[in-house]
Structures are given as C-alpha cells and as structure tokens.
Amino acid sequence: MLEQLEKLYQDAMAELEAVTSSEALREWDSRTLGQKGAVTLLLRGIGGLPKEERADFGKRANEVKLALAEAFAARETLVREHELARDLEEGQIDVTLPGRGRAVGGLHPSTQTLRELYHIWADMGFQVYRSRDVESDEMNFTLLNIPEHHPARDMWDTFHTTTPGVILRTHTSPGQVRAMRELGGDGSQPIRVILPGMCYRYEQVTTRSEMQFHQLEGLAIGRNIRMSDLKGTVTEFARRMFGANAAVRFRASYFPFTEPSMEIDVECFLCGGSGCRVCKYAGWLEIAGAGMVHPTVLRNGGYDPSQWSGFAFGMGPERMAMLKHGITDIRYFWGNDLRFLEQF
C-alpha cells in the first residue's frame, strides 16, 4: 500500500504539472484530494494493514496529502496569473483600427431657413412674436376683414376642429391682431415684429403645396409708415437674403387685410433674370404677399387709422429653401426621409 501511495503521489504531481486551466485544476482537486478522491480512498484502506505498518503508512499518507495540497495551491496561483494575462491579451484594443463614427443630428432645412430669416430681421430691428397654431375663426378671418361667407375665404381652405369656431390657422396674419392688441398699448405704441409659425391648409398635397408649411409674417406699425417703407425694407431684406445685387419687384395684388396689396418677386438668383427651370422662365420668383395694413385691421388691433399706419408681409420659408437649394418637391420637408434631411 505504501508503494501504491508513492505511485499515486508521483502520478498526481505529474498530472498537476500538466494542468493549465482552472477548470482542469478543479477536476484534479476533486479527483485527488476530494472526498471521493484517490488519497481519501487509499486512506480508507488503512484498516486492512497489519497493526505495525499502520503508523508509518498514516504518517506518510499525511505528508503526501499536505505536499499535494501545497502543490495544488502553488499551481492554482500560477494558473490564475496565466489566465488573467491571457484575458488581458485577448481583450486588448487595437488602437490602430478606424474609429466607429457616431451619427450626429442636424437642424431641419426649415429650421435653418427660419434661423437665417430671424438673423436678418433681427439685424433690421424686428423682434419675434409667437402667436398660436390653433386659432379662432374670428382672428384668422373676421378680424382680418374677411367676414363670414365672404368669397375671399376661399383663398384659404381651412382645417376645422370639433369645437365650432376653433380652427388651425391658415396663415400667420391673425398674429397681427394679437401682436397689436398685446404690444400696442391700446393703440399708443409703435410695433416692429416678425411672426414665424406653422400654418395649415386643407389642400390637395402636390409637389408645390403641402397641408402644413411655415410662414414668416412681418408687421410694422407707426405714426408715419408708408408704402416706401415697405418697399425699402423688403428690398433690403432681399439683398441680405439673396445677395447684394438682388432686384425686387412689386406687383399689385389683393388681400382683404391690406390696402393696397401686392406680391413681391425677386429676380431669379439662379439665372439672373434670363429665365430658367426654377423660375419657370419668368426671370422672377415670388417670395411674399404684402401690403399696407387695412384701416379695419388697424382698428381691430386697437389703433386709430387716422393717426397710425403700418405695413405687413407674409413669406414662405420652405419656398425660399426650395429656391435656394433647388428642391423640386415640397413633400420632402415633412417626409422625414433621412436621405433628404442629411443633405442640409
């Protein structure tokens, strides 16, 4: 049995030498030193030995056990270190690999255009006045000199809500009355504001018209504001927006809330007026509706039209973005197609 013990010792030590993983180490431990391990089993046989041999065998067996346990502990440390080193090696980052790009969001082309407009108008002394998207029929039409059943209402196809008299604004012009009432000090203060915002029209969606779009309204009220002020202001704006040489023209038109009314064109900045696809070979591009604030509207805003006058205009940021970037279909704006949006 003593020989068996020595052989077991030699074999176990040799096996331990070959162990390189903690898993194999655990196996070796239970196979050798565990409760059902080889050493335990051999020790159980001690009763079968002649009495005089038992003491020697027991002593040797304990030595072997201790030696194996020590060897195990030493091996365990070694294997751990080895495994840690391997983990670090495998987990290493290759710093020469190209980095993974992170997608960065951008501003919507409409927002970009609006901000450009805010800058220009701010430099020219206009403050932003924010009106509301959900409007009363009265503000959107009646107070703007468009009585109920008046045929001029057909100019704006309207989204109605389930509440009678509450609609989605079809243009930013109702903000004129709100601004006059809120900032005008009962008709005693001059006003110079722009009113940006989304407008809604119950319209057939085509390449040129959407159900929703931005407008940027302008309003100036003072004691001596004349048509020449409107012309000069808009011309200056066009130069800042489209370049120092931008030519502007004013065409007579009709809006119920301005008198006289006009439409404003800029000379096509793509072809310089000679005619191209963008301006439909007209040489001119329409950028805004405008006019002198109608006396009735001034009165509705709290001003005495015999003392006060003003001009107003309404321009379309999406149209301007389309012209500037050669966008051929307005539906791209709210289509949320990244292939479109990422170009800006």
Q: What does the binding site for ligand PHE look like in residue numbers (CB under 6 A)?
A: 171, 173, 217, 255, 258, 289-291, 312-314
Closer to ligand PHE by CB, 258 or 300: give it.
Answer: 258
Half-sphere exposure of 106 (CA within 13 A, CB side): 13
Closer to ligand PHE by CB, 289 or 301: give it.
Answer: 289
Nearest approach in angstroms of CB 260 to ligand PHE is: 10
Closer to ligand PHE by CB, 113 or 215: give it.
Answer: 215
Nearest approach in angstroms of CB 320 to ligand PHE is: 14
Nearest approach in angstroms of CB 253 to ligand PHE is: 8
CA 249 – CA 227 distance, rounded (Å): 13
Q: How many CB atoms lie within 10 A of CB 334?
A: 15
Q: Is 131 helix (H, G, I), strand (E, B) or coil?
A: coil
Closer to ligand PHE by CB, 109 or 197: give it.
Answer: 197
Is residue 246 within 8 A of residue 238, CB to CB? The reply is yes
What does each C-alpha distance from 250 to 60, 217, 234, 299 come to in angstroms?
Answer: 116, 17, 10, 26
Closer to ligand PHE by CB, 79 or 211: give it.
Answer: 211
Is residue 328 within 8 A of residue 277, CB to CB? The reply is no
Place of tokens 């959900």: 134
Nearest approach in angstroms of CB 293 to ligand PHE is: 8
Nearest approach in angstroms of CB 300 to ligand PHE is: 15
Is residue 76 within 8 A of residue 69, CB to CB? The reply is no
